[in-house]
Amino acid sequence: MQNKTYTKDDVAALYHKPFMDLVYEASTVHRENHDPQEIQMCTLLSIKTGGCTEDCKYCSQSIHNNADLEKEILMKTDQVLAQAKAAKEAGSTRFCMGAAWPRVLEGKAFDRVCDMVKGVSDMGMEACVTLGMLTYDQAKRLKEAGLSAYNHNLDTSEEYYDNIITTRSYEERLETLENVAKAGISACCGGILGMGESEDDRISLMTTLANLDPQPESVPINMLVPVKGTPLENVERLDIFEWIRCIAVARILMPKAMVRLSAGRLEISKEAQALAFMAGANAIFTGEKLLTTANPEKDFDHALLEKLGLKPRAPYKDGPVTQQGGGCGREGGCGCANAQQEASAA
Ligand code: SAM
Ligand code: DTB
Ligand code: SF4
Protein backbone atom coordinates (compact mmCIF):
# COMPACT_ATOMS: atom_id res chain seq x y z
CA MET A 1 0.00 0.00 0.00
CA GLN A 2 1.22 3.48 -0.82
CA ASN A 3 2.02 5.56 2.26
CA LYS A 4 3.95 8.58 1.00
CA THR A 5 3.12 11.18 -1.58
CA TYR A 6 6.12 12.69 -3.32
CA THR A 7 6.34 16.27 -4.51
CA LYS A 8 8.33 17.28 -7.55
CA ASP A 9 10.71 19.08 -5.16
CA ASP A 10 11.36 15.84 -3.24
CA VAL A 11 12.17 14.08 -6.47
CA ALA A 12 14.27 16.96 -7.83
CA ALA A 13 16.38 16.90 -4.65
CA LEU A 14 17.05 13.21 -5.22
CA TYR A 15 17.66 13.61 -8.95
CA HIS A 16 20.25 16.36 -8.38
CA LYS A 17 22.34 14.50 -5.82
CA PRO A 18 25.99 13.99 -6.76
CA PHE A 19 25.94 11.09 -9.23
CA MET A 20 27.94 8.63 -7.10
CA ASP A 21 25.87 9.38 -3.99
CA LEU A 22 22.67 8.78 -5.94
CA VAL A 23 23.88 5.46 -7.34
CA TYR A 24 25.14 4.39 -3.91
CA GLU A 25 21.77 5.18 -2.31
CA ALA A 26 19.87 3.39 -5.07
CA SER A 27 22.13 0.38 -4.77
CA THR A 28 21.54 0.26 -1.03
CA VAL A 29 17.75 0.39 -1.49
CA HIS A 30 18.04 -2.30 -4.16
CA ARG A 31 19.98 -4.63 -1.86
CA GLU A 32 17.46 -4.12 0.95
CA ASN A 33 14.57 -5.14 -1.30
CA HIS A 34 15.86 -7.59 -3.90
CA ASP A 35 18.46 -10.22 -4.52
CA PRO A 36 21.10 -7.99 -6.17
CA GLN A 37 22.36 -10.85 -8.31
CA GLU A 38 19.04 -11.63 -9.96
CA ILE A 39 17.90 -10.16 -13.25
CA GLN A 40 14.48 -11.04 -14.58
CA MET A 41 14.41 -11.94 -18.25
CA CYS A 42 11.26 -11.01 -20.14
CA THR A 43 10.62 -11.73 -23.80
CA LEU A 44 8.48 -9.50 -25.98
CA LEU A 45 6.37 -10.46 -28.96
CA SER A 46 4.41 -8.21 -31.25
CA ILE A 47 1.21 -10.22 -31.76
CA LYS A 48 -0.39 -7.59 -34.02
CA THR A 49 1.90 -5.20 -35.82
CA GLY A 50 1.41 -1.74 -37.34
CA GLY A 51 -1.61 0.19 -38.56
CA CYS A 52 -2.26 1.91 -35.22
CA THR A 53 -4.46 5.02 -35.35
CA GLU A 54 -2.77 6.77 -32.39
CA ASP A 55 -0.19 9.44 -33.25
CA CYS A 56 2.65 8.60 -30.84
CA LYS A 57 5.56 10.49 -32.41
CA TYR A 58 8.15 7.87 -31.46
CA CYS A 59 6.31 4.85 -32.80
CA SER A 60 7.06 2.76 -35.86
CA GLN A 61 3.51 1.40 -35.79
CA SER A 62 1.47 4.60 -36.06
CA ILE A 63 -0.34 5.30 -39.34
CA HIS A 64 0.57 8.97 -38.78
CA ASN A 65 4.29 8.21 -39.19
CA ASN A 66 6.22 6.98 -42.20
CA ALA A 67 8.26 4.12 -40.79
CA ASP A 68 9.14 1.32 -43.15
CA LEU A 69 7.11 -1.42 -41.48
CA GLU A 70 5.09 -4.38 -42.75
CA LYS A 71 1.64 -4.49 -41.14
CA GLU A 72 0.67 -7.87 -39.73
CA ILE A 73 -2.71 -9.19 -38.59
CA LEU A 74 -3.23 -10.75 -35.16
CA MET A 75 -1.12 -13.88 -34.80
CA LYS A 76 -2.66 -17.30 -34.21
CA THR A 77 -2.65 -18.59 -30.64
CA ASP A 78 -0.52 -21.66 -31.36
CA GLN A 79 2.17 -19.55 -33.09
CA VAL A 80 2.33 -17.27 -30.05
CA LEU A 81 2.48 -20.16 -27.61
CA ALA A 82 5.30 -21.77 -29.59
CA GLN A 83 7.28 -18.53 -29.20
CA ALA A 84 6.46 -18.36 -25.49
CA LYS A 85 7.73 -21.92 -25.05
CA ALA A 86 10.99 -21.04 -26.84
CA ALA A 87 11.36 -17.94 -24.63
CA LYS A 88 10.87 -20.04 -21.52
CA GLU A 89 13.49 -22.51 -22.71
CA ALA A 90 15.88 -19.59 -23.27
CA GLY A 91 15.45 -18.50 -19.63
CA SER A 92 12.61 -15.98 -19.68
CA THR A 93 10.12 -16.09 -16.82
CA ARG A 94 7.86 -13.41 -18.24
CA PHE A 95 6.32 -13.15 -21.71
CA CYS A 96 4.89 -9.86 -22.88
CA MET A 97 2.57 -9.66 -25.89
CA GLY A 98 2.04 -6.31 -27.57
CA ALA A 99 -0.68 -5.28 -30.01
CA ALA A 100 -0.67 -2.03 -31.96
CA TRP A 101 -4.19 -1.20 -30.88
CA PRO A 102 -5.30 2.16 -29.52
CA ARG A 103 -7.77 0.35 -27.27
CA VAL A 104 -9.19 -3.11 -26.73
CA LEU A 105 -12.42 -3.87 -28.58
CA GLU A 106 -14.64 -6.79 -27.58
CA GLY A 107 -14.79 -9.57 -30.13
CA LYS A 108 -12.92 -12.51 -31.60
CA ALA A 109 -9.54 -10.77 -31.49
CA PHE A 110 -9.83 -10.07 -27.77
CA ASP A 111 -11.09 -13.64 -27.16
CA ARG A 112 -7.97 -14.87 -28.90
CA VAL A 113 -5.69 -12.67 -26.79
CA CYS A 114 -7.36 -14.10 -23.66
CA ASP A 115 -6.56 -17.60 -24.94
CA MET A 116 -2.94 -16.57 -25.45
CA VAL A 117 -2.76 -15.23 -21.90
CA LYS A 118 -4.20 -18.45 -20.54
CA GLY A 119 -1.72 -20.51 -22.56
CA VAL A 120 1.30 -18.51 -21.36
CA SER A 121 0.13 -18.56 -17.75
CA ASP A 122 -0.48 -22.34 -17.96
CA MET A 123 3.16 -22.72 -19.01
CA GLY A 124 4.15 -21.26 -15.62
CA MET A 125 5.33 -17.93 -16.99
CA GLU A 126 4.13 -14.49 -15.98
CA ALA A 127 1.88 -13.29 -18.79
CA CYS A 128 1.92 -9.59 -19.63
CA VAL A 129 0.08 -7.78 -22.41
CA THR A 130 0.06 -4.26 -23.78
CA LEU A 131 -3.04 -3.61 -25.85
CA GLY A 132 -3.75 0.10 -25.45
CA MET A 133 -6.65 1.49 -23.42
CA LEU A 134 -8.70 -0.98 -21.45
CA THR A 135 -12.02 -0.97 -19.57
CA TYR A 136 -12.50 -2.51 -16.14
CA ASP A 137 -14.57 -5.42 -17.57
CA GLN A 138 -11.86 -6.19 -20.10
CA ALA A 139 -9.24 -6.07 -17.35
CA LYS A 140 -11.32 -8.55 -15.32
CA ARG A 141 -11.45 -10.94 -18.28
CA LEU A 142 -7.70 -10.79 -18.69
CA LYS A 143 -7.23 -11.40 -14.99
CA GLU A 144 -9.50 -14.47 -15.19
CA ALA A 145 -7.44 -15.72 -18.13
CA GLY A 146 -4.34 -15.60 -15.92
CA LEU A 147 -2.76 -12.23 -16.69
CA SER A 148 -0.02 -11.17 -14.25
CA ALA A 149 0.70 -7.66 -15.56
CA TYR A 150 -0.61 -5.05 -17.96
CA ASN A 151 1.91 -2.72 -19.62
CA HIS A 152 0.61 0.78 -20.09
CA ASN A 153 3.17 3.57 -19.98
CA LEU A 154 2.77 7.23 -19.12
CA ASP A 155 5.58 7.74 -21.65
CA THR A 156 6.61 11.23 -20.46
CA SER A 157 5.63 14.05 -18.08
CA GLU A 158 2.10 15.44 -18.16
CA GLU A 159 3.66 18.80 -19.13
CA TYR A 160 5.54 17.46 -22.19
CA TYR A 161 2.91 14.91 -23.20
CA ASP A 162 1.13 16.98 -25.88
CA ASN A 163 4.39 17.24 -27.83
CA ILE A 164 4.39 13.47 -28.17
CA ILE A 165 0.79 12.25 -28.43
CA THR A 166 -2.41 14.14 -29.20
CA THR A 167 -4.90 11.32 -29.85
CA ARG A 168 -4.90 9.84 -26.32
CA SER A 169 -4.87 11.98 -23.19
CA TYR A 170 -2.74 11.58 -20.07
CA GLU A 171 -5.99 11.25 -18.12
CA GLU A 172 -7.08 8.32 -20.31
CA ARG A 173 -3.79 6.58 -19.54
CA LEU A 174 -4.38 7.03 -15.82
CA GLU A 175 -7.94 5.66 -16.21
CA THR A 176 -6.63 2.50 -17.86
CA LEU A 177 -4.12 2.10 -15.02
CA GLU A 178 -6.97 2.45 -12.52
CA ASN A 179 -9.00 -0.25 -14.32
CA VAL A 180 -5.98 -2.54 -14.27
CA ALA A 181 -5.44 -2.00 -10.53
CA LYS A 182 -9.14 -2.49 -9.71
CA ALA A 183 -9.10 -5.83 -11.50
CA GLY A 184 -6.17 -6.96 -9.34
CA ILE A 185 -3.61 -6.98 -12.14
CA SER A 186 -0.10 -5.61 -11.57
CA ALA A 187 0.79 -2.54 -13.60
CA CYS A 188 3.90 -2.38 -15.71
CA CYS A 189 4.19 1.36 -16.16
CA GLY A 190 7.11 3.56 -17.12
CA GLY A 191 8.18 5.86 -19.88
CA ILE A 192 10.59 6.80 -22.61
CA LEU A 193 13.64 8.98 -22.05
CA GLY A 194 15.45 10.94 -24.74
CA MET A 195 12.45 12.35 -26.61
CA GLY A 196 13.74 15.93 -26.27
CA GLU A 197 12.15 16.38 -22.83
CA SER A 198 13.80 18.51 -20.13
CA GLU A 199 15.26 17.34 -16.86
CA ASP A 200 12.18 18.82 -15.20
CA ASP A 201 10.00 16.55 -17.36
CA ARG A 202 11.95 13.48 -16.29
CA ILE A 203 11.54 14.52 -12.65
CA SER A 204 7.82 15.06 -13.20
CA LEU A 205 7.41 11.64 -14.85
CA MET A 206 9.21 9.93 -11.96
CA THR A 207 7.03 11.83 -9.44
CA THR A 208 3.81 10.73 -11.16
CA LEU A 209 4.98 7.12 -11.39
CA ALA A 210 5.98 7.01 -7.72
CA ASN A 211 2.64 8.51 -6.65
CA LEU A 212 0.56 5.90 -8.47
CA ASP A 213 -1.43 3.94 -5.95
CA PRO A 214 -0.54 1.12 -5.91
CA GLN A 215 2.93 1.76 -7.25
CA PRO A 216 3.72 -0.14 -10.46
CA GLU A 217 5.04 -3.66 -9.99
CA SER A 218 7.32 -3.07 -12.98
CA VAL A 219 8.78 0.18 -14.31
CA PRO A 220 10.07 -0.05 -17.88
CA ILE A 221 12.69 2.60 -18.61
CA ASN A 222 12.84 2.95 -22.39
CA MET A 223 15.51 4.97 -24.13
CA LEU A 224 14.08 6.34 -27.37
CA VAL A 225 14.86 4.15 -30.37
CA PRO A 226 14.89 6.83 -33.07
CA VAL A 227 12.91 5.13 -35.83
CA LYS A 228 13.41 6.45 -39.37
CA GLY A 229 10.23 8.05 -40.70
CA THR A 230 8.98 9.17 -37.28
CA PRO A 231 9.02 12.83 -36.15
CA LEU A 232 11.57 11.93 -33.46
CA GLU A 233 14.10 10.27 -35.75
CA ASN A 234 16.64 13.09 -35.37
CA VAL A 235 16.20 14.00 -31.72
CA GLU A 236 19.48 14.58 -29.91
CA ARG A 237 20.56 11.55 -27.93
CA LEU A 238 20.14 11.74 -24.16
CA ASP A 239 23.30 11.78 -22.05
CA ILE A 240 23.66 8.26 -20.66
CA PHE A 241 24.21 9.56 -17.11
CA GLU A 242 20.71 11.11 -17.22
CA TRP A 243 19.35 7.64 -18.08
CA ILE A 244 21.19 6.17 -15.10
CA ARG A 245 19.97 8.96 -12.81
CA CYS A 246 16.38 8.09 -13.77
CA ILE A 247 16.99 4.41 -13.05
CA ALA A 248 18.45 5.23 -9.64
CA VAL A 249 15.57 7.59 -8.82
CA ALA A 250 13.01 4.96 -9.90
CA ARG A 251 14.69 2.38 -7.67
CA ILE A 252 14.73 4.68 -4.62
CA LEU A 253 11.13 5.88 -5.06
CA MET A 254 9.70 2.46 -5.98
CA PRO A 255 11.81 0.08 -3.90
CA LYS A 256 9.75 -3.06 -4.55
CA ALA A 257 9.30 -2.59 -8.29
CA MET A 258 11.13 -4.42 -11.02
CA VAL A 259 13.06 -1.65 -12.78
CA ARG A 260 13.21 -2.87 -16.35
CA LEU A 261 15.81 -1.79 -18.92
CA SER A 262 13.63 -1.70 -22.00
CA ALA A 263 14.01 -0.17 -25.46
CA GLY A 264 17.35 1.25 -26.53
CA ARG A 265 19.82 -1.20 -25.00
CA LEU A 266 21.36 -1.98 -28.37
CA GLU A 267 22.92 1.49 -28.41
CA ILE A 268 23.95 1.47 -24.75
CA SER A 269 27.41 0.21 -23.82
CA LYS A 270 27.79 -2.82 -21.59
CA GLU A 271 29.59 -0.60 -19.06
CA ALA A 272 26.58 1.74 -18.85
CA GLN A 273 24.23 -1.26 -18.53
CA ALA A 274 26.41 -2.57 -15.67
CA LEU A 275 26.12 0.81 -13.94
CA ALA A 276 22.34 0.66 -14.47
CA PHE A 277 22.24 -2.71 -12.66
CA MET A 278 24.31 -1.15 -9.88
CA ALA A 279 21.75 1.68 -9.72
CA GLY A 280 18.96 -0.82 -9.17
CA ALA A 281 17.77 -2.07 -12.55
CA ASN A 282 16.83 -5.73 -12.18
CA ALA A 283 15.00 -6.77 -15.34
CA ILE A 284 15.65 -6.72 -19.07
CA PHE A 285 13.84 -7.59 -22.26
CA THR A 286 15.71 -10.37 -24.00
CA GLY A 287 15.48 -11.77 -27.48
CA GLU A 288 16.78 -10.23 -30.67
CA LYS A 289 13.65 -8.19 -31.25
CA LEU A 290 11.61 -5.88 -29.01
CA LEU A 291 8.30 -5.29 -30.81
CA THR A 292 9.48 -3.99 -34.17
CA THR A 293 13.05 -2.85 -33.46
CA ALA A 294 16.24 -4.74 -32.69
CA ASN A 295 17.49 -5.74 -29.24
CA PRO A 296 20.83 -7.25 -28.13
CA GLU A 297 21.30 -10.93 -29.07
CA LYS A 298 20.63 -13.58 -26.43
CA ASP A 299 24.35 -14.44 -26.29
CA PHE A 300 25.29 -10.82 -25.60
CA ASP A 301 22.96 -10.70 -22.60
CA HIS A 302 24.05 -14.04 -21.20
CA ALA A 303 27.72 -13.08 -21.57
CA LEU A 304 27.09 -9.72 -19.88
CA LEU A 305 25.28 -11.27 -16.93
CA GLU A 306 28.00 -13.87 -16.54
CA LYS A 307 30.78 -11.27 -16.63
CA LEU A 308 29.00 -9.28 -13.92
CA GLY A 309 28.26 -12.30 -11.71
CA LEU A 310 24.52 -11.81 -12.22
CA LYS A 311 22.05 -14.58 -12.88
CA PRO A 312 18.67 -14.84 -14.60
CA ARG A 313 15.84 -14.94 -12.07
CA ALA A 314 14.51 -18.45 -11.59
CA PRO A 315 10.84 -19.20 -12.30
CA TYR A 316 8.47 -19.11 -9.34
CA LYS A 317 8.14 -22.37 -7.48
CA ASP A 318 4.35 -22.39 -7.72
CA GLY A 319 3.83 -20.67 -11.05
CA PRO A 320 2.64 -17.13 -11.65
CA VAL A 321 0.37 -15.36 -9.17
CA THR A 322 -2.88 -15.54 -11.01
CA GLN A 323 -2.83 -19.31 -11.37
CA GLN A 324 -2.05 -20.32 -7.83
CA GLY A 325 -3.52 -17.38 -5.94
CA GLY A 326 -0.06 -16.39 -4.74
CA GLY A 327 2.94 -18.44 -3.73
CA CYS A 328 6.19 -16.66 -4.29
CA GLY A 329 8.24 -19.66 -3.30
CA ARG A 330 11.31 -17.55 -2.61
CA GLU A 331 13.06 -17.19 0.68
CA GLY A 332 13.09 -13.89 2.53
CA GLY A 333 10.17 -11.93 1.05
CA CYS A 334 11.43 -10.65 -2.28
CA GLY A 335 9.63 -7.82 -4.10
CA CYS A 336 8.21 -9.88 -6.96
CA ALA A 337 4.61 -9.69 -8.19
CA ASN A 338 3.71 -12.85 -6.29
CA ALA A 339 5.11 -11.59 -3.00
CA GLN A 340 3.40 -8.22 -3.39
CA GLN A 341 0.08 -9.85 -4.12
CA GLU A 342 0.44 -12.08 -1.07
CA ALA A 343 1.30 -9.09 1.11
CA SER A 344 -1.68 -7.06 -0.07
CA ALA A 345 -4.03 -10.02 0.43
CA ALA A 346 -2.77 -10.59 4.00
N1 SAM B 1 -0.29 0.10 -28.41
C2 SAM B 1 -0.08 -0.07 -27.06
C3 SAM B 1 0.05 1.23 -26.34
O4 SAM B 1 0.87 2.05 -26.73
O5 SAM B 1 -0.68 1.46 -25.40
C6 SAM B 1 1.06 -0.98 -26.70
C7 SAM B 1 2.31 -1.06 -27.50
S8 SAM B 1 3.46 0.27 -27.33
C9 SAM B 1 4.52 -0.05 -28.66
C10 SAM B 1 4.36 -0.04 -25.84
C11 SAM B 1 5.35 1.00 -25.40
O12 SAM B 1 6.58 0.86 -26.11
C13 SAM B 1 5.00 2.46 -25.60
O14 SAM B 1 4.15 2.94 -24.62
C15 SAM B 1 6.36 3.13 -25.51
O16 SAM B 1 6.63 3.51 -24.18
C17 SAM B 1 7.33 2.05 -25.97
N18 SAM B 1 7.91 2.39 -27.28
C19 SAM B 1 7.31 2.30 -28.49
N20 SAM B 1 8.13 2.72 -29.47
C21 SAM B 1 9.29 3.10 -28.88
C22 SAM B 1 10.51 3.63 -29.38
N23 SAM B 1 10.70 3.89 -30.66
N24 SAM B 1 11.49 3.88 -28.48
C25 SAM B 1 11.30 3.63 -27.17
N26 SAM B 1 10.17 3.14 -26.65
C27 SAM B 1 9.16 2.88 -27.48
C1 DTB C 1 7.85 -1.07 -22.82
O2 DTB C 1 7.78 -0.11 -22.04
N3 DTB C 1 8.80 -1.24 -23.71
C4 DTB C 1 8.54 -2.42 -24.51
C5 DTB C 1 7.30 -3.03 -23.79
N6 DTB C 1 6.97 -2.04 -22.84
C7 DTB C 1 6.13 -3.45 -24.57
C8 DTB C 1 8.32 -2.06 -25.94
C9 DTB C 1 9.49 -1.34 -26.55
C10 DTB C 1 9.20 -1.10 -27.98
C11 DTB C 1 10.35 -0.46 -28.68
C12 DTB C 1 10.05 -0.13 -30.08
C13 DTB C 1 9.69 -1.29 -30.95
O14 DTB C 1 10.39 -2.34 -30.91
O15 DTB C 1 8.75 -1.15 -31.73
FE1 SF4 D 1 -0.18 2.76 -31.28
FE2 SF4 D 1 1.02 1.97 -29.04
FE3 SF4 D 1 2.47 2.80 -31.15
FE4 SF4 D 1 1.06 4.58 -29.78
S5 SF4 D 1 2.78 3.34 -29.00
S6 SF4 D 1 1.13 4.39 -32.03
S7 SF4 D 1 -0.72 3.37 -29.20
S8 SF4 D 1 1.19 1.00 -31.05
Does the residue 140 lie in any domain? Answer: yes
State in Å, rounded, how far the first CA of the chain is from the last one. Answer: 12
Whose CA is closest to 242, among 16, 13, 6, 7?
Answer: 16
Query: Do the beta carbons of residue 56 and residue 165 sit within 8 Å?
Result: yes
Give the number of domains in the chain: 1
- The answer to whether residue 328 is catalytic is no
Query: Do the beta carbons of residue 179 and residue 216 sit within 8 Å?
Result: no
- The answer to whether residue 188 is catalytic is yes
Residue 208 CA neighbour count, 13 Å, CB half: 21
User: Exactly one of 42, 52, 114, 246 is catalytic; which is it?
Assistant: 52
- Res 2: pLDDT: 58
Does the residue 12 lie in any domain? Answer: yes
Does the residue 91 lie in any domain? Answer: yes
240 contact partners, CB below 8 Å, separation of at least 6: 268, 269, 272
Query: Do the beta carbons of residue 187 and residue 149 sit within 8 Å?
Result: yes
Per-residue pLDDT of the chain (346 residues; tens, 9 = 90+): 556 899 999 999 999 999 999 999 999 999 999 999 999 999 999 999 999 999 999 999 999 999 999 999 999 999 999 999 999 998 899 999 999 999 999 999 999 999 999 999 999 999 999 999 999 999 999 999 999 999 999 999 999 999 999 999 999 999 999 999 999 999 999 999 999 999 999 999 999 999 999 999 999 999 999 999 999 999 999 999 999 999 999 999 999 999 999 999 999 999 999 999 999 999 999 888 999 999 998 889 999 999 999 999 887 655 554 433 334 444 444 444 545 544 444 3
Ligand 3 pocket residue status of 176, Cβ below 6 Å: no
For a substitution probing ligand 1, which of 44, 47, 52, 56 has the most ligand atoms within 8 Å of its CB? 56
- Res 319: pLDDT: 54
User: Domain containing 316: what range?
Assistant: 8-341
Does the residue 193 lie in any domain? Answer: yes
Query: Do the beta carbons of residue 254 and residue 210 sit within 8 Å?
Result: yes
- Res 288: pLDDT: 83
CATH of residue 336: 3.20.20.70
Does the residue 67 lie in any domain? Answer: yes
Which ligand has its closest atom nearest to the C-alpha of 192?
A: 1
- Res 333: pLDDT: 43
Does the residue 346 lie in any domain? Answer: no
Distance CA 185, CA 188 (A): 10
What is residue 194's DSSP assignment?
A: -
Ligand 3 pocket residue status of 132, Cβ below 6 Å: yes
Does the residue 205 lie in any domain? Answer: yes
Ligand 2 pocket residue status of 96, Cβ below 6 Å: yes
Does the residue 1 lie in any domain? Answer: no
How far is the centre of ligand 2, averaged over its atoms, from the C-alpha of 34 (Å)?
24
140 contact partners, CB below 8 Å, separation of at least 6: 183
- The answer to whether residue 52 is catalytic is yes
Residue type, 83: Q
